[in-house]
Structure 1
């Protein structure tokens, strides 16, 4: 998400003003022209739901990978203990 926000920041031209959204509308990058000619920048989270869903999906996937790894390691140890000569 940080990379997406950085991409939004650096893909905005120097004369472009307005709001840009990314990652299903959850990240916002807005540039506005101030009264004195300076450029004001605002970044933030507009909708946290996609970020929460991503976190939950990654947590489930990583947990499943860890459970599968432990099961395979346990099966390997079991097979090594069953071989003659050990």
Structure 2
């Protein structure tokens, strides 16, 4: 991601263009790296998808736990 040739100024995008990494030549001859968010939409979509998936996992776990308790109560009586 950060590999460049000698004295090249390169701009690279990651994660569907949402994040940007750019090498910039400084006044003293060194190369600096700047990073930033260019398009936040893919990051927001990822956050929402992960939130929904985790909520579904939690709901399934609670349902299975409740069913287990129900079966244990039925077999004990």
- The interval holding the TM-score normalised by the smaller chain is 0.7 to 0.9
When normalised by structure 2's length, the TM-score is: 0.87
Alignment: residue pair count: 76
Q: 2:50 aligns with which of 39, 58, 61?
A: 58
Unaligned stretches of 5+ residues in structure 1: 1-7
Alignment of 1:6-45 (within 5 A): 8-9=1-2, 12-13=3-4, 15=6, 16-45=8-37
Structure 1 segments, 4+ long, off by >4 Å, are: none
TM-score (norm 1): 0.79
Unaligned runs of 5+ in 2: none
Higher helix share: 1
